Structure formats: structure tokens, C-alpha cells
Structure 1
Amino acid sequence: MTTLHIHDLPVEVLSLVLGSFPGEESRHEFPFFDLRLVCRLWNKIASPHLFRTIQLGRGRRTFQRWRGLLSRKRIRKHIQHVRIDCQNEYPPYPKIIEWKWYFARAIGRLKDLEQLNELSIHFEKSCDLEGWREGVSSKFRSFFATGARMWILSKLAAALKERAVVVPNCRPIRSLTIYNLQNFPAWNMGRFDEPTDISFLTQSLRELDLTFVSENYTEIDFYDHGDWDPGKVTRCKFTPYLRHNWLVPTMDYLTSLSICSVERWGAIPSYFDGTGLDFPQLRSLTLGNFIIGHHDHFNWVLRQKSLQSLYLLDNAILSYIFHDGIIKEQANIPIHDWIVLEDSQYYFPGTWEILFDRINEELPRLKDFWFCSDTGVYPPQPRKLCHVRYISFHSCERPIWNTGARTDGDLEWDWTTNRAKETLQGDTRAYESLLQRVLRRLMGA
């Protein structure tokens, strides 16, 4: 017998083995740094995996560590992904000026990262309307304010522009992720706000992941209903802004797109119009909390014939609407295929059975499909048809969505109906047929 030691493996295989261990963020669970101390070969192989992703956080120690890493050329050459963490544990107001100075200096060092091609920005889940009321140039009073987010994004935009000019041979930014982006015109692909213009990234981006949030419902806005008010300018203007300033400029280049929201979006209070959105290279699409309210509302997705992966997370069909007319005037919501029940009460007859059949027939390359809900299935199970797949909306004093009972999908509304139960047989048939065809494509049959 021949004894085979791990050092007998080819360097490429050994690199894959070492790269499978948890990285920097999990170093407390596994001593990844110790791998580099085994020998010179392991140090050479492990370093690219260890320093591929670095994080810029909030505290002074984080800034010091960031400065220390970027001061070493042998480490800088391995950095491909930068995660910027702007959430939780912010400094008190007197320390904000000091934090801004450290942050601006740290972000300015992005020009030293020639191999950088992925950027992730994580904002706080909470945000307020301070910046909207006082303008984007408002004082940096709080990290939750719109003005604070705009300042952070403007510094990032300036640093990326400088990097593109100063380092002509640098790798382009291929992947951009923004978590908890406020539903407010921030970074722009449309060149209407110079400080936050990132239109120079348009042609290089291949992966775009956006998760946006709405303003807080606070005591200050109690009588104004905060962002729950369907007439709020931020909610009504953000959806078209998302289309025209993010999706249209990048649609010729993206291969992966994810659009998710903490609030339900797509139908009310602002209609998402996907007409004309064609992504010729798109392979993967994720939609989170998207509400379908019309027969042609999903056509823009079905038009992406290159799709191989489609993930519908917490998506629902809008079945019943109490619509007081004010929403219609402010957000221009189409009602052409809604059936009038009573004064300002509507019913939309769309079903998932029809939608699943259309996905089955009109997306010929689909090999991966998820349809799940955190509300109805614990944990989310892609092969189990979730009960919360139909929804109703009531534009009362504090507008609310009715997601249905978690057990059987009963909408528990004025119409006392259970769309999930009514359509279960047809939806299940179409869903299983879709999954079977997707599986056959995946297996190459």
C-alpha cells in the first residue's frame, strides 16, 4: 500500500480543500489563521481565501485593522470583496464628526485595491424621514437619517470614481449588494445627482442585489401615518425611480438580479411597470415581497427567456382591494382588470395556477425554481406550496395588508373567503408540473 499525505495532493486541489473552511467572519469558530502557520505552502494557499473578503465596520479598532491590512501589499492583492457595515452600535452624536473623518479616510483607500470586484453595503434596518424633510444636505444628526445615508453613499461614489481614474488597470466592480437601502433616490445610474452618481459602473456590473426599506412608523408621524400612508411621496416615487435609475441602465449587462423589500411592493401604493425591461443576459432573478395585481403584471419576468433560476420569496397575488380612490389619484394604480364589487371595493381573479403554467411554458431554460414564504412555511420549503400566496389590501386609516391565516390561508376579511383553499387543486397541479419540468431540465433529460 502507498500512503498518501495531504501534501501529495496537487496545489489546486489543496487550495479547494483549504478554501472550504470558514473564512474571516467565522474565525472564532475555526482558527483559519492557524492554517497559514502550518508551512510556507499552506500560507501561500490559504492567504487568498482568508483575505478575499474584508469588512469595514464602525468602531475605531475596525478602522485601525482596516488601515493595517491595506498597508500591506501582499494582503491587498488578495482582496476582492469589501463589506461595509453601517448598522447598529453607532457612536453618540458628539463622536459622529470623528467617525465621519475616519470613515472618509478608510473609504478613500479603495483606490489601493486593484483586485476589488465585489462591494456590499449594509445599512441599518430602521430609517427616518429627517433627510427628506430637511433636504439631502441636512445635518448628520443620526445614522438613521436620509442625510446620513446620502453622505455615506456620496463618499463611496467619490472613492469608486477616483479608483477608476487613478488605477486604470484595476478590476471593474462586477457585483453590488445594498441591504436596507432607504426608499429614497440615493445612488443614481441616471446622472441627475452628481455626488451620488455611479453611472460609470453601469457597463461593468453583472450582479445587482437590492433590499430596500421604508421609513419608521413613529410617534412623530402618528397623525401623518408615517410611511404607511400610501400617498407618501417616498413610496410613490421610489418604484419608478427603481425602474428608471437602476434597472433600465443596467439591463443589457446583468446576469443576476435580486430585488427585495421589507414592505410589500409592486401593486400598491405604487405600481411597478416592467414594460420594456429586457435583460438579454440575465440568468438568475430573485423577487422578495413582490405583489402581483394584474394579469400582465408578471409579463416582464416571463420575457426574460435566458433565465435559469427564478426565486419568488414571499410573493403573493392581490385578490381583494378596498380602494378609496385617493390612492388611485396619487399613485396612478391601474384597475383595468379588477372586478368592481361595491363602491371602492375590487376583486382580482388571477390565480397561481395560470401563473405557474405560464412560467412552465414561457421560460424554456429554467432549471432552478423556488416559491416559498417565511410566513406560511417553517422553515421555507421550495417544494411545498405555501398557504399565504393570496393577499388583500385595505386603505383604511392605517393601510394594512392581510396575509391570511398561517394555517390555511383564510384572508379573514370583509369577503370571508379563502383563495388559497379555493385554488388549491389547480395551483398544486400547475406547481408540481412546473417542478417536474424544471427537474428534468436540471438532470439534462
Structure 2
Amino acid sequence: MQTENAPLAAAGGLDTGDTAWLLAATALVLLMTPGLALFYGGMVRTKSVLNMLLMSFVSIALVTVVWLVAGYSLAFGDDAFAGLIGGLEHAGMAGIGPHSLTGTVPTFLFSTFQLTFAFLTAALISGAVADRTKFAAWLVFVPVWTLLVYVPVAHWVWGPGGWISQSLGGLDFAGGLVVEIASGASGLALCLVLGPRLGFRKEAMRPHNLPMVMTGAGLLWFGWLGFNGGSAFAANGLAAASVLNTLIAGCTGLLGWLFVEHKRDGHPTTFGAASGAVAGLVAITPACGVVGVLGACVVGLVAGVVCSYAVAWKFRFDYDDSLDVVGVHFVGGVVGTLLIGLFATATMTGGKEGLFYGGGFGQLGRQAVAVLTVAAYTFLVTYGLGRAIDRAMGFRASAEEELTGLDQTVHAETAYDHGVHAGHTAPHTAHSAPPKEPSA
């Protein structure tokens, strides 16, 4: 990160076009967390809708405070130790003013854009432990997790001197490692800490409001254009290519998932369409600025197919990933990050190439090392943090709270005054009930 503290007019480094685009992209990414809240809120049962919404919204507030105090400096400050963590020179946003620049945009804007990634990543984890998490424990978990997990990984991949980008040579354009794999591996860790929901594998636990799910997916897709396109940090051709690749992968992911549903279950569903689009978007996140149009088509399609089967792994391996954070975000993130090693093209990267473009196996190996390292680190640290919080204050809601519903018992509210019969109007999906063997 290069920061200039001279006035903008004198520095001559500010690009108003780049700044305008990143301002818009930041707003788009901010919208993704409320979109995620709707997506998750529609997937749970009526008795925990508001709790699910609030877990996403409170993540925005908690991570913002942590980011301003120390998170931004540790992630994007000058490297302090062997590519592992930044320094505290910008703690409390010290040394940064309205005229400070990062590249061609104001540093305040760069920091805000990166902040929207951070609180979205924390909110993603909530889907893995929906319906059974003690809200007070979530308030403790989010800020500590942000400092211990998200911030170091962000520095490894995107920070000045970060070891994955600089020493290893791994590629992650917009967050396959930092956002998707980190949230998915962390979600799996918390699943194991909290244990399964009451009735897991016995009750269907279908999404209660599919229109809400589709609306949330649409908002996520809309925001994802800024998520990936904004990661070019310039209003240029790379941003445009990233936006196009993002759109393409969402489409092929949707089609891939629906194809599997039709062949396997005989019924393509709206829930499958929403999930497939998200799977494609997840997978293209690390690759959108690295692969060409053909690569984007393949990345989205592979993710839609693979993730449609991966969501059933929780029934085979007996971990209760409530809203399929592991099956979609972790698996999709792994797919997209590894496929960079096959489809990366010098036209997009400016030099590095994947196996199918004459680059050999080298980049694929570097991508694999990055995936394994980030997955192992985030899982182990999150598991340890979850256990510590569980021992200190209890991480799981009581059985009574879970059965009655967290909306009433924790927040003293209900989403629907007249009630909705959850589970009776929603169609069967691959997510909602144990699969019939041998298909998912």
C-alpha cells in the first residue's frame, strides 16, 4: 500500500474516475450484508428469522469498530513480521487524512471498501450455526474472530509484503481465500463446537420463505458486481472484465445446479437457482480478474455442479451446517481458487498463466498451498476460539430457547404476527432434509 499525505491537488495521484467507481462499488458491497440477511432469513424457520437478520446486521457494527481501532492497520499497514501481519502505525486511522492516497483513490475510501469485505465475511459464518447460537456469544465471537482470523489472512493475501501474494505467488483477486474459504472453514469449526440443531436429520427444516431467499440472492448478485469489479481499484478494462466474469459465473452456476436437480431429483427449484447462482459467484470471486470469459463459464458451471452435491455432505459426515456455508462458500471458494491454476491467462494477470494456457503445474501448486494453509489456519483458530467462548459463557442457546425460537426468547419479537406454517409450503430441496442414498 502506498500512501501519500500531500494535498490531493499537489500530489497529482488522485483519479476521480477511479474514486467514483470505488465509491459506487463500496455501496454495492455494503448492500450485500443486508442481502445476505434476507437470503439467510428466508432459509431458516419462522421462529428464528429476526435472530438471523440481526446476526448479520450486528456484524456490520462490531467489525466496523474493530476495523477502525486496529483491524485496518494490521491488515493493510506496512508488514511487521515475515509477511504474516501488518503494524499498528494506522491504529485508530492515525496518520491518514482526507488527502491521503492509496494508489489513485483516497485511503479512507480504500479502507471503507475493505471494511465491507470484513463484516460480510463475519456475517457469512452465522449461516453455519443458525437457529442455535447464543446471541451474547456471537457479540463476543465476531470482533475477536475478526482480529485473530480475518485480519491476518487479509494481510497474507492483500497486505503489503503478505506472504501468500509476495513469497508464494498465490492469486486471489477478490476474496476466494480471504472471504469464502475463511468463512467456510470457520463455519465448519463452529458447527463442531455447537453440535447439531435439535431435530437434525429427523426434521426437514425447510426454508420458510423462498421469495425472501430469491430477493436476498438477487441483492447479493447485484452487490457482487461491486465486490469483484471494485477489486480492480480503478475504472478500467480489468474492472469491466471482472464484472462480466462475475455475471457469467453466476449464470452458469445457476444452470449447473438446476441441471443436477433436474437429473437427480426431477424438480428444478427456486431454492436451487438461488443457491447455484451464489455458488458460481463464490467461485469466480478469486478468479474474476485472472481468467478469461471461457474460464469464467467453466468456473461457475463446475461450482454449481460440485456445490449442489457438497451441500449433502453434512448428512453423510454428521455435521449440522445449517444454511450450507461449508457446502457453498468453502467448497465454492476452493473450486474457484484451484481453477485459477488451470485457467489463469496472461491477458488478465499480466504474466502468470495456468496449466491450460501454457503455465504448467506451478500456479496450480501455489494455489493449492494457499488453500490448505488458509483453511487449516482459519479452522484451527476458530475452533479454539469457539471452545474458549463456550467454556467461558456458553456458545449455544438453551434447548428451551431453541425449541421456542430465538426471536421470542432472545429478542422478544416475532417476524409474523399471524404465523406462517414453516416447512409445509416449501418444496423439498437438497438442503433441507437427509438425502436418499446414494444421491444427495
TM-score normalised by the chain length of structure 2: 0.27
Higher RCO (CA < 8 A, seq sep 6+): 2
Largest Rg, 1 or 2: 1
Higher share in strand? 1
TM-score normalised by the chain length of structure 1: 0.27
Higher share in helix? 2
